[in-house]
Amino acid sequence: MTDTVKCPGCLGRRRRADYLCNTCWRTLPASTRGRLARHDARAFQRLRELHSALAARTPLAIIRVSP
């Protein structure tokens, strides 16, 4: 059984290592995906921005995070 947890963007499941399930991830703007995929000093800040946007029910297609 794959190690999955609830996806924060929908009612589906995601892999524990990923931020979102594949469907939600592909719905994000390409620039947002590129930024979230970088694991630098600001990665945690971007993840927080993603989660607060999701908590505010911002549509995935228009969620943006810091460069």
By CB under 5 A, is residue 21 in contact with Zn ion? yes
CA distance 53 to 63: 7
Of the residues 9, 19, 27, 54, which one makes contact with Zn ion according to CB under 5 A: 9
By CB under 5 A, is residue 7 in contact with Zn ion? yes
> 58: which DSSP letter?
-
State which amino acid sits at residue 12. G
Nearer to Zn ion, 23 or 31 (CB): 23
Task: Tell me which H or E stretch contains 53.
Answer: helix 43-55
Of the residues 3, 4, 6, 12, which one makes contact with Zn ion according to CB under 5 A: 12
